[in-house]
Chain A
Amino acid sequence: MSSLEQTALFLIIMVPLLGAVLTMFLPKDRPGDAWYFAIGVSVVCLLLSLYIFVSYDYGAGGFQLARSFQWLEAPINIDLSLAVDGISAPLILLNGLVLLGAVLISQTIRTRTRDFFVLLQALGAGVFGVFVVRDLFFLFFFYELAVLPMYLLIGVWGSSTDFGSFLRTKEYSAMKLFLYLIAGSILVWIGILALYVKSATLGTPTFSLEDLGNLAASGSISEEFQTWVFPLFMVGFGVLAGLWPFHTWSPDGHVAAPTGVSMLHAGVLMKLGAYGIIRVGMVLLPEGAENWMPLLITLGTVNVLYGAVSAMSQTDLKYVVGYSSVSHMGYVLMGIATLDPIGVGGAVLQMFSHGIMTALMFLLVGAVYDRAHIRDIYVLNGLFGRMRVNSFFFAIAGLASLGLPGLSGFIAEFMVFTGAFRTYLPLAILAVVGAALTAVYILRLLARTFLGEMDPRWEHLTDASPVEKAVGGVFVVILIGVGVWPEPMMRVINVGVASLPGI
């Protein structure tokens, strides 16, 4: 297996990327082929990510499976360095899972199927890339690659929402999402440039996270510099993580996107932002992080409450889920901002847990929409009568999101609270209140849409398809599994978090 050890990280980027390229050459008139092919690719990705997660030696810790290829030599010095640590390993696994789920669920894509899977696999490759690289250039490269397909994925295969008084078109949402994420990334880019210039003045110019990390650890990066650069990363990555007040792309974008894309985007892509804050902001700019964390945790708390309160008065099923993502990403941001091993660990676990949970929710909402062609919760009602499994899964996902013990969300949120409690007591209490608010809108949604007397209009609806059942079932099992026995996840995360500076 040593050869796999050498190449696993490289493969996990290249497999979906090559998959995307090869998909282009599939016959156009047989859309099913693209689907089967994408399934094959994502199964391989899932196996690879499982391998990476399982083979990560949490006893040894640190970065493992490291590999480095030179890309550009001096004077610019860019290497494609790959490695995985306790923070990225669970996220790689998450992406493997959600990617396969998203591909499977995209069976319903009927127009330009081939193009869809090309873009979807490129998206997957970008996300994997961000999680495995240790070089700022490539981090940014894959970060952008992950954003790139979003415009078309939403614009072409998405759906518009009619609010009566106004229309949120998919084009608008796609454009907003795309520009917003790119706008965030320009801050990141500027930050990266600043770091590079800084490293040049300190000796060797470098993009290597390892070298920059060593510079930071040696204290040669001045606090003043860190303090002005950190907000670039915080806001830049924060945009992708849905940081308030830069979150509005998220509900609109998620709602407009087709199901599989919503799953990937809300499930995985938003985590790139939080991951970036940890990997770049915290590691390279520990003192800057310390100075800015009070603001971040405040904004995170606002996210939690604001997202939850906004979700309460949404009438569109998917918007509720969209705003709930905003709210839940608030816990991630809060956890990060605690700079506390438990809090940050909670944030990482929340990334994983929310990824699965929100993917599941979007899957189920998508299933409803596919059948009923409407998402208005005042119109949909009593779906339980026809869509038992679907409703049941939704209930599980909803319960996970409101922090029901026994499901993964509880462990994660609880850890975030714990971390925040020690550092920012009042905000922690507000966050707990936020969790209670989550219950309000989730139960409201459940009650309105899935429970109650069924309207005869919905007689024709069918329950989840086998594919939906399978994907949803696996996600439910994961939610419960992590909720009941988080140790396999936590022991990896703990190692990763412990090695972060400033904790």
Chain B
Amino acid sequence: MSWFLFILLSFLTLGGGLGVVLTRNVVHAALFLLVSLVAVAGLYLILLAEFLALVQVLIYGGAIIIVLLFAIMLTRSADYPRISDNRQWPLAGIAALGLLGVLSAAFLTRPVEETQLHSPAFAGLGNSLFTRWAIPFEVASLVLLVALIGAIIIARSNEEER
């Protein structure tokens, strides 16, 4: 069962990803991305990481994709149809395959010894996040703040502009 799900979800994940990078239509790309990200959430479920799956769907599916779509619409211009790949795409393919090769070789040469699959408790996760990882957590909040302020400052149009 888990094998079946794994293969299906992997297919969706990778297929969605390929869709993102290969399609000529930007909106399609965003939708492919959605597919891929949701499939990833499915993979998290196989891995018994329900919380992460939830977060994945909420943040990616609910927030990021929406923002992307907004951005696509805001930046839609006459040249979108011809937007696809740049001139170096064959090189890009080779480079990506090269990296894939190295990574796969690294993973497969001497696989890590593993134990039973397990599911960490929500409570433990939360406890850890707010005690041990409190400082990174707070810093992350500042990161979000900065992103927020930055997005506002940069995207906001003001009078002087024109």
Question: Do A and B interact directly, with beta carbons closer than 8 Å?
Answer: no
Please give the residue numbers on chain B whose beta carbons come within 8 Å of chain A beta carbons, in ascending order: none
Please give the residue numbers on chain A whose beta carbons come within 8 Å of chain B beta carbons, in ascending order: none
